[in-house]
Each structure stands twice: as structure tokens, then as C-alpha cells.
Chain A
Amino acid sequence: MGSWKEYSVVKTLDEAVHKLSTAIEPVKIIAGGTDLLLEIQQGHQPIVHTLIDVNNIDEMKCLEVRGQRLFIGAAVAVSKITNSPLVKQHALAVSEATGLIGGPQVRNAATIGGNVAHALPAADGMISLVAMDTQAVIYKDKSFVEVPIMSLFKGPGQSTLEKTEILVGFYFNLKQPGEASAFDRVMRPQGVALPILNNAIWIKRNRNIIEDIRIVFGPSGPVPTRAERVEEVLKGYAMEQSYIDLAKKTLRETVKFRTSKMRATAAYRYELADLLLERVLKKAWERTEEV
């Protein structure tokens, strides 16, 4: 009867933690609610007693440069991230990825924290953050802890966050000369709203050499993983078709894709991975030329 009994809007992290540990169970954090409320409504999650709304905690609504890094609060709506000049400047992949989530109305409510905490292996915003080598900030035991974003995932739909741990925001390095990032995905026009495959790439260029690179595909496995062997094939080499072809070959040998009913066979996913790798890599490479 309704998805919740009590809806509690908190203003500070301490208040949130306090409520999380004292409110009537079951209790859950809610941000945009675009995942959580539908899951409860459709019976994929049990009905909760208390929802703790974290949208009004100042620290979590911040999007700003801090030192050599960009900070994006977990409660920033993805539409704000897409359109943020700072994000566009430092992490186009993140702007692109968040701009593809749902439609504009969903993006006005959905947050980046929710996209990550939901821990789906192909969440667009999350995949782009992985490519940015993002550090996540967690508020736990009254202090802020920084962990690599990859450590947040346990399995599909399961994060490693404990009940009273709150995801506060994300840090990644500001863009340096020669660096760039890009994101793209392929959807199926029928069926579920999840991409068949998405891909985010961050790259550091030195003249015509790929000095450093990070490549992530989603979904590939129960938790997001970097395509490290593919990265190795490209790292330190020139941006040339022969290396791209070699990278595709390595991709087929080392990255595991699954067949998922109604979405795609593994064989088709490899085709798309070829396409995306080349498309996204070239897009990122071209961007390194821009200042």
C-alpha cells in the first residue's frame, strides 16, 4: 500500500546517518528515486518504511573544482552534469553518458550517485566515471573516506555500501593537455531501456602515441571491469589502424560478453564492441587535438 510510510528530508550527512540507524526499518536512501521507486512499485524490492531523501545535503549538491580535481556531488541531477561547462571541459565522456540517461524529465530527477549506487553493470553514468578513474567519497563512521569507484560493486544491482554509508560524491583529475575522453552506446529499439553495450574511453596522447588509456565496456561481467588487456595493446603505440585492429582482436580474446535474452547474443555484442571501440577511440583521439 504505497511504496513507503515515512519520507524524511535531511539537510546534513550526520542527520542522514542518524536517521538511517534509528528510523523504523526497512529504511533506504532515496535520491532521484528513478530507480528505487519503480523497483519497489514493480515488486523487485520490498516496500520500505522510511525513505531518507539526500537531495538537500549541500555537500552532495556541489559540482566544483577542488585543487587538481573536479568534485561532483552524488546528489547532483544528471541533467546538471550533462550541461555543466566544467564537466564538458574536463570529462566529456561523463557529459555524454549522463546526457543519454532516460529522457529530460528523468534526467532532471535522477542523480549520478543513484546511477552508481544502483550498481547495474551497464549504467551509463557509472561506466563513464570508471573510465575517468574516479575516486568515490563515502561518508562512514562520521568521516569521509575515499575509495576507487571500482570497489563499490559487489554484483549486478549490489553495491558494497553498508546501510549507514552514504555516497557523497566523486573526484577525478582535471584534464591535462593531451588528455580527452568519450562515450557512446548502442541500444535496441525494442525492449528494455538498457543499452546492449556502452563504452567509455579516456586517453592521454603524446604526439601520435597513445601514452595512456582506460577502456570500459558495460555490461561485461557482473561488475564493471576495465578492458585492461586491450588497453595494453594500445598503450605506448601509435594511433594507427593496425593497432586498432589488434585491439579488436584482443578484445574478442580477453573481454567476456554474455548472451542476454531479448537483448543481444554475445556474438552480436562482440560486433558492437568492435564498432564502439573504434568509434569512441577515434572520437577521444580527435578531442585530444582540441585545447
Chain B
Amino acid sequence: MENEKMITFEVNGKLVSLEKKPGEMLADLLRERLGLTGTKIGCNEAECGACTVVIDGEAILSCNFPAEKAHGKQITTIEGLATKKENGNGNGRQGEYTVHPLQDAFIRYGAVQCGFCIPGQIMTSYALLESNPEPSVEEIQYALKDTLCRCAGYPSIIGAVQAASESIRTGNPISDPVVPIARDAGRIVGHSVYRPDSIAKVTGSAIYSDDLHFDGMLHARVKRAMIPAGIVESIDTSAAEALPGVKAVLTAKDLFAEKVHGLVIKDWPVMVGVGEKVRYVGDAIAIVAADTRDIATEAIKLIQVKIKPLPIVNSAVLAHKEDAPQIHESGNLLKHIKVRKGDMDSGFADADVVLEHTFFTNPNDHAFLEPECSIARPLENGRMEIYVGSQIPYADREQVASVLGLEEEQVRIIGQLIGGGFGGKEDIAGQVHAAMLAQKTGQPVKLLFDRQESLIVHPKRHATQIKLKVGAKSDGQLTAVETELYGDTGAYASLGEKVMTRATTHASGPYEIPNVKADCYAMYTNNPPAGAFRGFGVLQSAFAVETMMDMLAEELKVDLIKLREMNALRVGSVTNTGQLLDESVGLLECIEKVKTALYEKAGSDPFKPVFDQNDPNIVRSWGFAVAYKNTGLGGGAPDKAGAEIELLPDGVFEVRSASAELGQGLPTVLQLTAAEELGQGVDQVRVLLSDTDLTPDGGPTTASRQTYVTGNAVRHAAQAMRDLLTAELAERYDVNPEKITFIEGLAQIDRIQVPLADISKTLRADKVEPKVLYTYWAPETKPLGQGGKMHVAFSFAAQAVQVEVNLLSGEVKVPQVITANDVGFAINPLGLQGQIEGGAIMGIGHALTEDFVITDGQVITDRLARYRIPSIHYTPKITSFIVEHPTKDGPFGGKGVGEIVLIPTIPAITNAVYNAVGVRVDSLPVDQEKIRMAKVKQMV
């Protein structure tokens, strides 16, 4: 008789036998008891596919598979696909591992971004290829339907699976996809390279915060208000404290130093205490550390909280009413933001046509696949280490230190890989709470959000109401644009003021308009806070203004592309904030590129509805939109980043910056930049990010600023390193500095070659540290309202999108996207392609699937099953053009990429819907029911 207490199964070819644990899922067993942390948990609710493993040949979700069911079965996890080589030199990509063709193909096709979904993608694909060695694109999409990638590398994933399939069948090695190089490519920059972290990400050895384990580590959970507005009357933690295994229960009473956190304005209470105000459902009331997560969860349930409800302020417009309940002592107005240019009266008087319309945008969640996780670890010397995937490590350090009552230097943020951020990992999530509990208990504490908590707690995209009034001459020349915006910044400021400022300054679109007036009210409400999210306010205003441009074109009977060309910003234009654009405005070229491709595909009248030949209820058409987006913080904010470079004893240059890699490919950009300047190949440059002890402040990873600001810092640091080495070598070898150059791994000193490793060692022996630090300050910018240069640069884009609408159901599909993006310079074309594809698909998600629903302050979409992000089925055919109008102060001319790629997609889709069926979408997302019911009305 088998031992009833044990589960025995084979994992990656090894037999394991473990004691049964009540309630244990296979994912937990693999991760916690076998240390196989390559299997990821993204949702724990059978929605995302990140936890996919292969059991007896079939893809299975291990987060929802009782471990005991695995008894007697054969399991393959991501760790079982690659084989570690015995004598690997550990240097090259293929050095340590013999990877599976799928893993190889995922790297080569650039399918790996943040990497969190990748083990699940590869395991699902592996099961597919085992049963179907030659899948079609449709079969790949069918198989990967519920294996989500928020970075949306779907086109590259499809390409990679096809390439792997071919390689397995033919035995030929996988060849690289064709990605054009940058126009003015250098020796290294402007060429595609694989991400330095991709081998770890495809083999499952990449470590994210939740993959870390420390001896004696406790698990924390947070008691949340779950009521949107009220006064805390009492908190009783006694039952929780009495629960065996509970090590600490803390409430606001236990705060002895700073009691609030926040990025710009500190208005977010670490915990809400008795007598204090609850402002949203996610407010923390108490925190618990216990021996296990289950115990901590149980303890949270035992905490009794009484909250006297207050009236709920559930929208920005309501919040602005005079008699609205006041959410903060300062009132409900976070900021009134104004843009003024010219004279509105004369602007509208000059107009032949004036149109007015109000638009609505909904909140969105970042839905990064890796939920927030922080681990705090107290050191014996009184310091506190925090392991966290954070977009702004130095801001974390300051906020944690101030609450713990420590000096900033006493706290060390050790940034981990981030499984997607998109702006949602800028604010404090669990960092402070974990640190408080670690300080209290003296033990390491892990605080991991579950998906529901993630959806409820962290700041969202701002919901907005945007009223636009435009005036134009009959030929289409814009004479005046007036905008009134309401932005719902939720309970706390977060980056709300900055986001809504960007929404306001970009509110009249990338057009030169003589008379502009915009007023924005960024309002506090009792909804979850709103903050940074890829697109940063510009996404909302672009939806409004680009829809308005189409309405205007229709009214004036002018071609909608011509209308945009006529008014487009160009070199010599003055923006609505009074900035003269003296260079790097590629908008017209973006429009030209998209227009040409569009006419080629769809003929000279692409915006007319075309009925399907076989099904008269299917109609297709195209839509068009343009956008611009600032690079860098701008607006007078000092924008700087530090970078350090050291020549290590093994001859490798290490580049260090506390900037964050969210999956967007920053390390590659920095690696290429340093390699170019130092005459090296990519293998001689390593990048270390996000450790506040080891890396200089790179500033926030936001506002599409890292390529520009940190890229520049690295470029200058690399130049300084070259100068330092040159000077030292010239002295030592007594040669003219001009005779010294650097080539891969070597210094060429006149006629002799010396390995860099030797140089590093020699210098160190002489007490010269081969290390330089450079702090780059972006060119000064002017605050809003002062005119002049508000931003160091802008990126531009144009997109055309085809939609297919079913007239009977109202269902909308997006089969094709044409996109052109002016990014200044394509430092890493492969990484850029990932950003462009991912941006377009996120845009499709925002337009069609994503609806974050809050009803009276309660989050309705508190599961991934309710907040839907686009699956691989939404992958369109993407035609992409890179436009490169370099900006003179950017690294090699580069400017921001991460946000511009997604902004025009949404209005291009909604405009296409109008062109197809005549239903104007003025609130997001597109609602198929509304389309159908509008058609029904049109028929009667």
C-alpha cells in the first residue's frame, strides 16, 4: 500500500516524494518546496497562464491544480527545458545552457520583455508543439489564448513559436528575424541585440521579488478598509494577536516618525488610525506578520474594524461641486492647471465653424502580470534592506526611511527584476509596511499582494471628462481650441498633478493653433488613487482631440489626413505652451509614411465602409490619428540621472544606474550606448540597475525619460571613462593619447595591445580605481505658464487602424495597424519593435477590452477575470515605420519611445468604428452593445 502521507511524482525527470500539505496547489509546491521558481504566479485565479506547467504532455495551470493530484504523474516545468552545460564558460548567452529551440527563438525574436509571462508562454507552446509539430498561426493563437502577456509581445511570440517549430522539424538552427537597423546606425548602436537578461528569463532562472527566500522570513498581509469613505471608530487586533504564528500586528498607533507617504505630495497615510479618515477602499488599517501567509491571512480576518461611513464622492465633477464633502483638509482640488495662448474671442470670431463635444475616458489598471511584492530585511547594524521591483528606487528609500525614522543611507533598496510596471510601480505599495514589520520583529518580512489587492490598491489611469471646443476656417485651418478637463485623481495625489498637467498641455493635439485655452481640474475623490500610467494623461486628451479632428473634417468636408497635415506641428511651430520647436519634429513624415502605406493597402478612399463579400453584416473601414508626447519630466523640474562605469578586474565594464527596467529594454539601451563609446562589443559591458547602495540615482522611470536622461548619463560616463583610461595609459606607456584606442576587450596603445583586464588590475594595484561617475542634467526647462522650452523633446506618431464590425452584434475587431513613430534614433531596433507592437496592442486593449469599473468607490473589477487585458487573439497585423528626426541633446539623437507607441491607437480605432458604421464613440471603451443598439435605432 502506498504511503498515504506522501505525494510522489516526477519533475523534470527526477523522482520526488514529499509529504502532503492540506490545501496546497502544485504551483506553491513547485515554488516553495522544490525551489522551482521559474513557474510564476500572476493571478492565482486561472486567468493568466503564467503558472502553466506540462503534466503528462498536457498544459495545466498549476495555480489551480491541487498538488495531491500530481501523484504518479510526470511534470515538466520551465527549468526542465534547457540543460545546463557541464563546462560552460558562463560568459556567452549560450555558454551555460543548451536551450530548447523555443527558448532560443523567444530570445532571437525579441519576445522577451519583462519576462514574467515567458515561462508560461514557453510551456504552453511546448505542449502545443509536442502534439502539433507544425501549428498554423490560428492554432498558435488558439493554444495561447489564455496565456497573457501584458507587454503584449504577441507578434514576436507567434514568430518565435513558428521559428522553433521549423527548427525542430528541420534540425536547422533558428535564424534571426529581419529587423531593419537604424538609419544612422553606429558600430554598435542602432543594431539589434538580444537582451542581456533574456537567457535567464527564458530558462526560468530570472529572479523576481517573490522568488526570493530568506531564513526566518515572515509573511505579511494588510487589513484594508474596504469602505470608500468614513471615520475609523475602533480597531480591535486582540484576536489576531492571539492567533498562534502571528508575530506582529501594527496599526497607526505604532507610527512614531513620518505617518504619510507620497511621491510629490505626502498625503497618503501609511495606516489610517482611530478617529482618522478613510478615503478609499484600499486604505490600510492594520498590518500583520506571521510565520506563514495563510496564518497572516487568517489573522487579518480576525481584526475587527468599525468605520462610520461618510458620503462618497465618486467622480471628479461631483468633487468640484461647492457642496461636495471635503476629502482632504486642503479641499478636493488637487490642482487647477491652465494653458493660455493668444486670444480666444478673436480665435473663435475668426472661425467659420465651431464644434463642441464632451468626451469621457475610463480608468484603467496596469495589470502588470507580476503583482507587487516587497521583502524587508533588517540587518544587524540597524540598516534595512528592501528587495522590490520598483520604478523609483531612490523615492522608495526616502519614503521608507522617513516612516522608520532612519537616515536615508540606513535604507538600501535592492531593485529586483520587474514583471511589468507601465507606471504602476512608482508609488509605495508594500515597501513601507514590510519594513515596519521587519523593524518590529527583527526578521525578514515578505509582503506579496494578491491579484485582487493589486487591482484594488495601486493607482490607476485617471478617468477624465474632457469638453472640447474647436474653431476652424472653412479650409480646415484651426483658429482656436478651448478645453475643460476634469481628472479623477482618486483618494491621494500620487503623480496626479503631473499626469493631468500633461493631459492639459497636450489637450489640443500636435497642432499649431494660434489661440488656446485649457483648464483642468485635478480632483480628489473616494475612488482608488490615479497616478502614472504609460501615456501619462496624453492618452486621454489624444482620444478627445483626435476624435474631434475627425468630426471637424466631416463637418468641413475636408480630407481628415489633410486636415491634420495642414495644422501639424513642424520645425518652427510654437506649441500651445509657447515652446518654439527648433528641431526634431517628425510628425509630417510619420503621417506621410502611414498615409502612403494606407493608400497602398486600402486604395484612395480608405475611410469608406467596405462590406464583406460573403457576409453583408461584416463591414470594415480604417481610422486615423496622430499624437505627440513629451520626453522627460520638463516643466521646470530639474531632470537628472547619474551613471557610474567601472572597469572590473575581469575586463568587463560595469554600467550602474538606479533607473528601473520594467521590461522596456533599458539595460540593452545602456549597454549599447556604453559599448559604442568604449569601443567594445556588448559582451564587454554589463549593466547593474536599481540598487541604492551601488548605483547612482537615475531618477524616476517615467515620462519616457530613461533613454534620454540615463542614456545621456551613460554616454557621458563612458566618454569620461575613455578619457580616464587614455590619460592613465598615455602616461604609463609614454605615448601620445591620440595613439590610444579601445577595441573589444583590449586597449590598442600605439602598436601594442593590452587586455582590459590587465589594465584594470594594474590600475588597482596603483590605487587608481578605474571608475567614473557622471551626473547628467537634462537641458533646463520652463514651468508651464512661462512660455519657452517646457520639454527637452517630443516624440511623434501617426497610426491608421482597420476595424471590422459585425453589424448584428456590434462586435469590433482590429485586423490591421499601420504605425509610424518618430523616436529620434532607434538605439536597439529589436527592443523598439517590442515597444511598438506592445504599445499598439495595449491601445487595442484600452479601446476594446479594458474597463476598470468602480461603483460608489467599490472596485467591481477586482479580479483578472473581470478586468480583461488583450489576449493573443487581439494581435493585429502590424506594419511599422521608424521615423528618426534626431534631437541634438539626446543620446545619438534618441528620444522617448515607451509611451508614444500606444497613444494614437485608441482614437484611430474609435474613428475607424465611426467610418465603418457611423456610430461615434465618445466614451471609452468601445461598447459593442451601444454600437448594435445605435444601428437598431438607425433602422427604425
Rounded to whole Å, the gap between the CB of A286 and the closest CB of chain B is: 14
Given the complex of chains A and B, what is the CA–CA distance between A190 and B844 in angstroms? 12
Rounded to whole Å, the gap between the CB of A53 and the closest CB of chain B is 7
Query: What 0/1 readout, one digit per residue, does chain B (54-72) give for beta carbons within 8 Å of chain A?
Result: 0000111100111011010
* Bound form: Cα–Cα A47–B323 in Å: 46
Give the size category of A's interface with B: 35 or more
The CA of A264 and the CA of B809, in the complex, are separated in Å by 12
Complex Cα spacing A210 to B839, Å:
51
- A34/B22 contact (C-beta < 8 A), A104-B124, A104-B145 known: no
B687 within 8 A of A: no
B865 neighbours in A (Cβ, 8 Å): 192-193
**How far, in whole Å, are A2 and B929 apart by their CA atoms in the complex?**
40
- Shortest beta-carbon distance from B932 to chain A in Å: 5
> Quick one: given A1-B298, A265-B929, are A33 and B65 in contact (CB under 8 Å)?
yes
A2 to B25, CA, bound (A): 9
A268 at the binding interface (Cβ < 8 Å): yes
A102 CB within 8 Å of chain B: yes
Q: What chain B residues lie within 8 Å of A188 (beta carbons)?
A: 928-929
Asked whether A108 is an interface residue with its Cβ less than 8 Å from the other chain, the reply is yes
Task: Pick out which of these stretches binds chain A: B302-310, B579-587, B848-856.
Answer: B848-856
Q: Which A residues lie within 8 Å of B936 (CB)?
A: 271
* Cα of A193 to Cα of B148 in the assembled complex, Å: 15
> Is B933 among interface residues, defined by CB-CB distance under 8 A?
yes
Contact residues of A between 9 and 65, Cβ < 8 Å to B: 9, 30, 33-34, 37-38, 41-42, 51, 53, 55
| A36 and B899 alpha carbons, distance in the complex (Å) | 41
Whether A190 touches B849, Cβ cut-off 8 Å, given contacts A38-B46, A102-B146, is yes
A33 close to B66 (CB less than 8 A): yes
CA distance A11 to B59 in the complex (A): 24
CB of A105 within 8 A of chain B? yes
Q: Tell me if B911 is interfacial: C-beta within 8 Å of chain A.
A: no
For B71, give the chain A residue with the smallest CB separation: A9
A2 to chain B, nearest CB (A): 2
Contacts of A102 in B (CB 8 A): 46, 146
Q: How many angstroms from the CA of A1 to the CA of B22 in the assembled complex?
A: 9
Q: How far is the CA of A63 from the CA of B157 in the complex (A)?
A: 35
CB closest chain-B residue, reference A263 = B929
Is A106 a contact of B46 with CB atoms below 8 Å?
yes
Selected from B22, B61, B71, B863, the residue in CB contact (under 8 A) with A106 is B61
Residue of B23, B44, B124 with highest tally of chain A CB at under 10 A: B23
Within the complex, what minimum Cβ distance (angstroms) separates B435 from chain A?
26
Report whether over half of chain B's contact residues are helix, strand or loop; otherwise say mixed: loop
Q: Please judge, given known A-B contacts A103-B49, A190-B851, whether A9 and B809 are in contact too, CB under 8 Å.
A: no
Interface size range of chain B in the complex:
35 or more
| CB of B24 closer than 8 Å to a CB of A | yes
Give Cα A274 to B295, complex, Å: 52
Question: Is A3 positioned at the interface, with any CB of B under 8 Å from its CB?
Answer: yes
Within 86-116 of A, Cβ neighbours of B (below 8 Å) are at: 102-106, 108-109
Assuming A1-B294, A105-B146, A106-B146, is B868 touching A191 (CB within 8 A)?
A: yes
Smallest beta-carbon distance B848→chain A, Å: 5
Q: A22 to B734, alpha carbons, bound, how many Å? A: 92
- Judging by beta carbons under 8 Å apart, are B20 and A271 in contact? no
Asked if A189 lies at the interface with its beta carbon under 8 angstroms from chain B, I say yes
Known A104-B143, A191-B851; contact A3-B23, beta-carbon cutoff 8 A: yes
The reply on B808 being an interface residue by CB < 8 A is yes
In the bound complex, how far is the Cα of B22 from the Cα of A51, in angstroms? 11
The contact string, 1 if C-beta is below 8 Å from chain A, for chain B 770-810, is: 00000000000000000000000000000000000000110
Q: What residues of chain A have their CB less than 8 Å away from a CB belonging to chain B? A: 1-7, 9, 30, 33-34, 37-38, 41-42, 51, 53, 55, 79, 102-106, 108-109, 186, 188-193, 262, 264-265, 267-268, 271-272, 274-275
Given contacts A108-B58, A191-B851, A191-B866, 15 further A-B contacts (CB under 8 A): A4-B22, A53-B68, A55-B69, A102-B46, A102-B146, A103-B146, A105-B46, A109-B61, A188-B929, A189-B811, A189-B925, A190-B851, A190-B925, A192-B866, A268-B932
For the complex of A and B, list the 3 residue pairs with the smallest distance between their C-beta atoms, beginning with the closest.
A2-B23, A103-B146, A1-B294
